[in-house]
């Protein structure tokens, strides 16, 4: 089974990357209910276990079937490249109740056990109230599950976009799709997503396409947004294997003696491009200290910097990469 998006030249001209704090929130809610998605996130699960126990996520889980349609309205494609959660959730709260009811019915169709539940009946009976209830629940999930860790997550997601934007320029859209996920391919002016249950075909007709990296969607690339939403592909972000690893745990002692512990940790933390604030949060260091370390490392030729949006991202040069990942006699790095 496969989903197919038939993209014309206007769609390709309107192809863009974006982050979605709201999308990461609903994906995090899914991870709690789906053990096969938890492998990379066990440290995060330990961190949020107690707080998550106080959330009643049943209404959201009811609307997250393993197959078939999932509601588009509580995680629509982001309106801009880096929206805030507050901007996204405000958009959800302002939706037309008729659109919400249609989306709920489509999600619950063919699932009599879910459709007959008191929660589903309550949501369907008053879609205007339903969207507010679900938005409030998503906001509570954001505060507990994602917001405390958002600087770390955002750093990785922005690094993914920076990397894949360069790859798009280097190899073109067709090859890029296979690099985003092995589920994605391009043939005869159609983007195909394999591995999804059911069939879906859509011609956006110039609406374009949004490519959204996600920490919590692994191992799947997902889509299926129905009109009037802009088509979107959510794909697993690069680097999630080391997302919850402390930089100090992978800083070679020899490098720490050479550069000093602080500078060595900053260098080793840059597996992906990152900004000063994100590094300070990740390493537990003062902004001024991180800024000084970055300046010294850049002057020494170990880092380069470039502006992305409102911030400056730093990344390692080939020499910086060689120093941060030396070969060891035991074969480890």
At 206-234, the pLDDT tens digits run 889 999 999 999 888 888 777 888 899 99
Of the ranges 252-261, 287-296, 302-311, which one carries the lowest mean pLDDT score? 302-311
Q: How many CB atoms lie within 10 A of CB 53?
A: 8
Query: Using the 8-state DSSP alphabet, how is residue 5 labeled?
Result: E
Give 117: exposed, middle or buried? Use CB within 10 Å, 0-12, 13-18, 19+. Answer: middle
Residue range 4-24: mean pLDDT, rounded: 92
CB of 196 within 8 A of CB of 10? no
Regarding predicted confidence, which is higher, 14 or 284? Answer: 14
At 67-77, the pLDDT tens digits run 778 888 888 88
Which tokens hold the place of 296?
A: 């010294």
Q: Residue 109 — very low, low, confident or very high, per pLDDT cuts 50/70/90?
A: confident
Q: How many CB atoms lie within 10 A of CB 52?
A: 16
Residue range 263-277: mean pLDDT, rounded: 86
pLDDT of residue 38: 87
Residue range 127-134: mean pLDDT, rounded: 95
Give 271: exposed, middle or buried? Use CB within 10 Å, 0-12, 13-18, 19+. Answer: buried
Residue range 70-98: mean pLDDT, rounded: 91
CA distance 30 to 145: 11
pLDDT of residue 158: 86
* Strand pairing category for 200-202 and 232-236: unpaired
Most confident of 34-48, 88-102, 271-285: 88-102
Residue range 286-310: mean pLDDT, rounded: 88
Which domains are delineated in the chain? 2-236 (no CATH), 245-324 (1.10.10.10)
pLDDT at 308 > cutoff 80: no
Average pLDDT, the chain: 87
Of the ranges 3-7, 26-30, 271-275, which one carries the lowest mean pLDDT score? 271-275
pTM, to two decimals: 0.78
pLDDT at 60 > cutoff 50: yes
pLDDT at 119 > cutoff 70: yes
pLDDT of residue 52: 92
pLDDT of residue 283: 82
pLDDT of residue 329: 37
CA distance 284 to 313: 18
pLDDT of residue 198: 59
């Amino acid at each position: 089974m496969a989903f197919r998006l038939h993209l014309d030249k206007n769609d390709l001209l309107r192809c863009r990357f974006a982050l979605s704090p709201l999308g990461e929130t609903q994906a995090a809610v899914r991870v709690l209910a789906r053990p096969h998605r938890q492998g990379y996130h066990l440290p995060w699960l330990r961190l949020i276990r107690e707080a998550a126990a106080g959330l009643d996520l049943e209404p959201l889980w009811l609307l997250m079937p393993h197959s078939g349609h999932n509601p588009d309205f509580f995680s629509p494609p982001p309106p801009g490249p880096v929206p805030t959660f507050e901007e996204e959730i405000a958009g959800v709260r302002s939706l037309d109740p008729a659109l919400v009811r249609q989306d709920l019915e489509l999600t619950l169709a063919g699932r009599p056990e879910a459709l007959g539940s008191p929660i589903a009946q309550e949501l369907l009976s008053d879609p205007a109230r339903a969207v507010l209830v679900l938005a409030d629940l998503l906001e509570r999930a954001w505060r507990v599950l994602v917001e405390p860790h958002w600087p770390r997550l955002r750093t990785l997601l922005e690094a993914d976009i920076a990397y894949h934007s360069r790859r798009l320029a280097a190899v073109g859209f067709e090859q890029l799709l296979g690099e985003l996920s092995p589920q994605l391919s391009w043939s005869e002016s159609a983007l195909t997503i394999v591995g999804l249950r059911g069939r879906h075909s859509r011609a956006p007709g110039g609406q374009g396409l949004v490519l959204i990296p996600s920490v919590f969607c692994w191992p799947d690339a997902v889509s299926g947004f129905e009109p009037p939403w802009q088509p979107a592909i959510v794909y697993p972000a690069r680097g999630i294997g080391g997302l919850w690893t402390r930089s100090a745990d992978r800083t070679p002692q020899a490098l720490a003696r050479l550069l000093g512990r602080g500078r060595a940790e900053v260098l080793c933390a840059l597996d992906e491009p990152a900004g000063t604030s994100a590094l300070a949060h990740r390493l537990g260091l003062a902004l001024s200290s991180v800024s000084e370390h970055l300046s010294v490392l850049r002057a020494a030729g170990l880092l380069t910097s470039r502006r992305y949006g409102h911030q400056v991202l730093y990344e390692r040069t080939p020499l910086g990469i060689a120093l941060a990942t030396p070969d060891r006699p035991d074969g480890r790095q």
